């Protein structure tokens, strides 16, 4: 088996931790697997470099910004190769430009256009262990680029696709994907297997474990991801793209986003202008719906004043703003096709007389905007009602790796 | 004029200092000059990276070591370009592999084989200001290399040669080259102009201002160096390679190396074996001379025990070791051809009955091994005797730049 192993910033925060990560690679190799290691910058390094840049300029040349911040992954890449070699494993570092990982020239958040697998394949065939610096690539004109925060996941997925890896293991500081935030729902459990679509919904709803772009790339190009802990033993969460045949409707996980606001106003034909104005100001909106002549939408509370001001420049209609809300989301499959799920949710809310300010439902996601004070209560009730407290009845058993 | 400006580690130790360095470039540009900026790593960064490596392995792969430590100059290179751009100057960063600076594959202390000037020349012709990461290069096989400590000076000199620059300004945390260490000789003065041969002698005698390899390259390939302060105004010291016609004998500067030892033993035909053994143990020797059947040499005191042990493995002859010595050196021109210089030195020593344990004289250097307690006294007497307290009578006046 060929396995891509990617280690995040907290996993490689110190030389001693880098050695620990190296032992994960050693373990797979001792099982007869081939491994390509992808690394992030040591935790805190990218922030430090970013602070240096900001001390000099608040609007830096993004070409030069990328030169500065891509150095973080370069350091870890060399250190990881040294750690593996110290274990007697023939590791060789590869920076993004050396692979090369080709990107467009949109500095600061460039997109991968292609990965040339030739050099890495040759190294693997010679029994070497390529270590690749995440987060970075190179343009046709030999200029360094980076992919934005979380970009090392993208490198790992892109390599998994280019090298046709059997699996892409993303080592993090969490044991995998949980059914809910354990700080809010004590009964939260690890999810052993989930679909790519579910992962994409979770990532889009702010679960910080995985970059939405990395999930999207895995979904589109067919990489088998696993999210697991650097620090604790365990199989983590496998994101199985083949698992598309799960006909049975189910709720896989719950997500709660607090400090949300709800805006409601008469649209007067201006909906597109509203959305354009908010998008231009990088205000993320969600749950857009129409009630008679009014349009309602949700957005983060810390952007609500700015949003009201922007909308007020477009229309004279009164704007109703409700702060102090929470968006509780169910992620799963068949959520719209199976009305019993929706009914279960509203039974729980109605019984406690909890008002729903807005809701939206798709096959893979249902979101409810409720008063923030009820968030934990609703999460726990839903967690129990949808059998998430128990061992997942829908997940096939993982083959022991 | 095309000027290479190189800034050392203490000069670029913080983002604010990088901005100060950028203002030096701005000043030259405002005079109508073209500038290429070369940068070291921020002070302390290379040591930090080195410590990370050592925490993982005391015998790291040097290929990977170079990947790690070359990141320091990369950061400064990007930050300097951002600082120049923030001043409205069209700067563009260039890493060693982007120039490219081609080197051999001796990782950790590789030598430059060639600098392709095409890209930098094109950038200059477009009115851009290339910023180049010092200390680093790339092999034919696209592997990163570094030049060893002080390697950014080497980059600056190599660029000066490749681009046929009119001058290579090396900005340091000292005002230039002084006639003596001012902590030992309060009357020490800045030397406005000196020859490359003199600078090479000074660098070889441990004056840490310039890397001997950088001076050697400048001498051999004809780059006009200037050493000056980032922090204080002043013209610094110009190392003028054209200045070979200074017929008049003179002493340019004094150097004192303390904690030296003197070893004396009957050679019995083993001189070559002695030297090989010491060289293999990286023990630097100096002032080798022969007195009847004995060979005498000087070496750093902290290596003397090791040296005696090594020599004892080769010969049974008794070994005389004298510790607590200082090597006082005069650097200048015509020192051997003009016996009055030697006579002046020995007049001073004889008058104070200061014993000379060993001496050696060449055209450009005279060294004396004396008891350490007399070092300051002798330095000050020589400084006065050779007119170094006064404005340099041999130096032509610098044209104001």
Question: B203-229, pLDDT tens digit by residue?
Answer: 888 777 888 888 888 888 889 999 999
Q: Is the pLDDT of residue B45 over 80?
A: yes
Same domain, A103 and A200: yes
Q: A15 contacts in B (CB within 8 Å)?
A: 52-53, 55-56
Summary mean pLDDT of chain A: 91
Q: Strand order of the sheet with strand A91-94?
A: A91-94, A129-133, A34-39, A2-7, A167-172, A225-229, A237-239, A193-194
Confidence of residue A386 (pLDDT cuts 50, 70, 90): very high
Q: Is B119 a member of any domain?
A: yes
Q: Is the pLDDT of residue B333 over 90?
A: no
Contacts (Cβ under 8 Å, ≥6 apart) of B359:
B287, B366, B367, B368, B369
Judge whether A4 is closer than 8 Å to chain B, CB to CB.
Answer: no
Closest Cα in chain A to B48:
A75
Judge whether B135 is closer than 8 Å to chain A, CB to CB.
Answer: no
Q: Is B155 a member of any domain?
A: yes
Task: Give the mean model confidence (pLDDT) for residues A54-78.
Answer: 97
Q: What is the pLDDT of residue A399?
A: 36
Instruction: Quick: pLDDT tens for B229-260.
Output: 999 999 999 998 766 545 578 899 999 999 99
Q: Do A60 and B19 touch (CB under 8 A)?
A: no
Same domain, A108 and A211: yes
**Tally of CB atoms within 10 A around B312:** 13
Using CB atoms, pick whichever of A19, A64, A79 lies closest to residue B82.
Answer: A64
Write the CATH number for A175: 3.40.1160.10
Pairwise CA distance, residues B64 & B138, whole Å:
13
Token output for A139: 């343009």
Q: Is A368 helix (H, G, I), strand (E, B) or coil?
A: strand
Q: Is B234 a member of any domain?
A: no
Same domain, A26 and A140: yes
Q: Is A393 a member of any domain?
A: no
Same domain, A106 and A139: yes
Query: What is the domain range of residue B280?
Result: 251-385
Out of A39-48, A181-190, A246-255, B263-272, pick the least confident.
A246-255
- Percent of chain B residues topping a pLDDT of 90: 73
Task: Give the mean model confidence (pLDDT) for residues B160-171.
Answer: 96
CA distance B48 to chain A (A): 11
Write the CATH number for A282: 3.30.2130.10
Same domain, B380 and B285: yes
Using CB atoms, pick whichever of A56, A66, A75 lies closest to residue B15.
Answer: A56
Pairwise CA distance, residues A73 & A66, whole Å:
11
The shares of helix, strand and coil residues in chain A, as percent rounded to the nearest 5, are: 35, 25, 40
**Tally of CB atoms within 10 A around A124:** 17
Instruction: Quick: pLDDT tens for B59-100.
Output: 999 999 999 999 999 999 999 999 999 999 999 999 999 999
Task: Give the mean model confidence (pLDDT) for residues A85-90.
Answer: 97
Q: Is B89 a member of any domain?
A: yes
Q: Which CB contacts under 8 angstroms, 24+ apart, belong to B240-245?
A: B240/B193, B240/B194, B240/B195, B240/B196, B241/B195, B241/B196, B243/B193, B243/B194, B243/B195, B243/B396, B244/B195
Task: Give the mean model confidence (pLDDT) for residues B2-15.
Answer: 97
Q: Do A86 and B16 touch (CB under 8 A)?
A: no
Same domain, A16 and A49: yes
Candidates B181, B168, B238, B190; CA nearest to B208 is B181
Pairwise CA distance, residues A273 & B301, whole Å:
80
Q: Is A398 a member of any domain?
A: no
Pairwise CA distance, residues A269 & A346, whole Å:
32
Pairwise CA distance, residues B292 & A124, whole Å:
64
Pairwise CA distance, residues A18 & A310, whole Å:
48
Q: Is A312 helix (H, G, I), strand (E, B) or coil?
A: helix
Q: Do B18 and A56 touch (CB under 8 A)?
A: yes
Same domain, A239 and A264: no
Q: What is the pLDDT of residue A150?
A: 81
Q: What is the pLDDT of residue B56?
A: 97
User: Using an 8 Å Cβ cutoff, are A53 and B82 in contact?
Assistant: yes
Q: Which of A244, A275, A292 is the endpoint of a domain? A: A244
Q: Is B197 a member of any domain?
A: no
Q: Is the pLDDT of residue A144 over 90?
A: yes
Q: Do B53 and A79 touch (CB under 8 A)?
A: yes
Pairwise CA distance, residues B85 & B82, whole Å:
5
Confidence of residue B314 (pLDDT cuts 50, 70, 90): very high
Q: Do B64 and A74 touch (CB under 8 A)?
A: no
Q: Is A385 helix (H, G, I), strand (E, B) or coil?
A: helix
**In b/e form, how buried is each residue of B86-109, taking b as 16+ CB within 10 angstroms?**
beebebbbbbbbbbbbbbeeebeb
CA distance B142 to chain A (A): 7
Same domain, A193 and A332: no
Using CB atoms, pick whichever of A18, A63, A68 lies closest to residue B56.
Answer: A18
Same domain, A218 and A326: no
Q: Is the pLDDT of residue B183 over 50?
A: yes
Phi, psi of B307 (to 5 degrees): -65, -45
User: Between residues A180 and B390, which one has the greater pLDDT?
Assistant: A180
Q: A77 contacts in B (CB within 8 Å)?
A: 67
Q: Is the pLDDT of residue A398 over 70?
A: no
Alpha-carbon dihedral A55, A61, A66, A67, rounded to 10 degrees: -80
Q: What is the pLDDT of residue A396?
A: 43
Instruction: Kindly state the helix (H) or strand (E) to which residue A376 belongs, with its residue range.
Output: helix A375-385
CA distance A187 to chain B (A): 40
Q: What is the DSSP letter of A224?
A: -
Same domain, B148 and B261: no
Contacts (Cβ under 8 Å, ≥6 apart) of B350:
none
Phi, psi of B60 (to 5 degrees): -70, 160
Any bridge partners for residue A299, and if so which?
A261
User: Between residues A97 and A203, which one has the greater pLDDT?
Assistant: A97
Q: What is the pLDDT of residue B245?
A: 47
Using CB atoms, pick whichever of A67, A92, A97 lies closest to residue B93.
Answer: A67
Same domain, A94 and A208: yes
Judge whether B57 is closer than 8 Å to chain A, CB to CB.
Answer: yes
Candidates A203, A79, A67; CA nearest to A136 is A67
Q: Do B74 and A74 touch (CB under 8 A)?
A: yes
Same domain, A229 and A355: no
Q: Is the pLDDT of residue B147 over 60?
A: yes
Confidence of residue A338 (pLDDT cuts 50, 70, 90): confident
Judge whether B17 is closer than 8 Å to chain A, CB to CB.
Answer: no
Q: Is A392 a member of any domain?
A: no
This complex has an ipTM of 0.81
Candidates B87, B89, B74; CA nearest to B36 is B89
Task: Give the mean model confidence (pLDDT) for residues A218-247.
Answer: 84
Token output for B256: 């004192």
Domains of chain B: total:
2
DSSP letters spanning B280-343: HTT---EEEEEETTEEEEEEEGGGHHHHHHHHHTT--S-EEEEEEEEEEEEEEESTTT-HHHHH
Q: Do A92 and B18 touch (CB under 8 A)?
A: no
Summary mean pLDDT of chain B: 91
Instruction: Quick: pLDDT tens for A288-336.
Output: 888 778 888 999 999 999 999 999 999 999 999 999 999 999 999 888 8
Q: Do A56 and B82 touch (CB under 8 A)?
A: yes
Q: Which of A226, A244, A262 is the endpoint of a domain? A: A244
Under 8 Å CB pairs connecting chains A and B tally to 120
Q: Which of B132, B157, B173 is the endpoint of a domain? A: B173
Q: Is the pLDDT of residue A24 over 70?
A: yes
Pairwise CA distance, residues A291 & A49, whole Å:
48
Q: Do B97 and A97 touch (CB under 8 A)?
A: yes
Mutate to test the interface with B, among A61, A97, A122 (most CBs of B within 10 A): A61
User: Using an 8 Å Cβ cutoff, are B353 and B152 in contact?
Assistant: no
Pairwise CA distance, residues B365 & B115, whole Å:
33
Task: Give the mean model confidence (pLDDT) for residues B98-116.
Answer: 95
Task: Give the mean model confidence (pLDDT) for residues B183-194.
Answer: 93
């Amino acid at each position: 088996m060929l396995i891509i192993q990617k280690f995040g910033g907290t996993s490689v925060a110190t030389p001693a931790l880098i050695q620990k990560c190296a032992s994960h690679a050693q373990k797979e190799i001792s099982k007869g697997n081939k491994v390509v290691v992808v690394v992030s910058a040591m935790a805190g390094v990218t922030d430090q470099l970013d602070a240096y840049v900001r001390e000099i300029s608040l609007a830096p040349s993004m070409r030069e910004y990328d030169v500065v911040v891509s150095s973080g992954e370069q350091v870890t890449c060399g250190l990881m190769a040294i750690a593996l070699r110290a274990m007697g494993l023939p590791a060789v570092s590869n920076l993004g430009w050396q692979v090369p990982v080709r990107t467009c020239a949109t500095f600061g958040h460039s997109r991968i256009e292609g990965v040339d697998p030739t050099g890495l394949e040759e190294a693997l065939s010679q029994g070497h262990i390529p270590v690749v610096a995440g987060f970075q690539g190179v343009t046709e004109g030999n200029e360094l680029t980076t992919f934005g925060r979380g970009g090392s996941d993208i490198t790992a997925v892109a390599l998994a696709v280019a090298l046709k890896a059997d699996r892409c293991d993303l080592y993090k500081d969490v044991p995998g994907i949980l059914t809910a935030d354990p700080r809010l729902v004590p009964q939260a459990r690890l999810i052993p297997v989930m679909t790519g679509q579910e992962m994409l919904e979770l990532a889009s709803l702010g679960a910080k474990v995985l970059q939405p772009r990395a999930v999207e790339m895995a979904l589109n190009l067919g990489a088998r991801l696993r999210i697991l802990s650097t620090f604790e033993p365990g199989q983590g969460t496998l994101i199985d793209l083949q698992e598309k045949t799960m006909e049975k409707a189910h709720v896989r996980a719950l997500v709660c986003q607090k400090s949300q606001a709800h805006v409601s106003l008469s649209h007067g034909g201006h909906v597109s202008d509203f959305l354009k104005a908010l998008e231009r100001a990088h205000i993320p909106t969600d749950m857009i719906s129409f009630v008679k002549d009014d349009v309602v939408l949700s957005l983060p509370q810390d952007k609500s004043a700015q949003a009201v001001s922007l909308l007020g420049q477009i229309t004279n209609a009164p704007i109703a703003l409700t702060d102090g809300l929470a968006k509780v989301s169910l992620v799963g499959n068949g959520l719209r096709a199976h009305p019993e799920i929706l009914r279960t949710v509203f039974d729980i809310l109605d019984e406690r007389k909890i008002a729903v300010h807005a809701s939206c439902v798709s096959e893979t996601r249902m979101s409810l905007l409720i008063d923030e004070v009820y968030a934990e209560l609703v999460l726990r009730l839903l967690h129990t009602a949808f059998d998430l407290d128990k061992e997942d009845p829908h997940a096939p058993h993982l083959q022991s790796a």
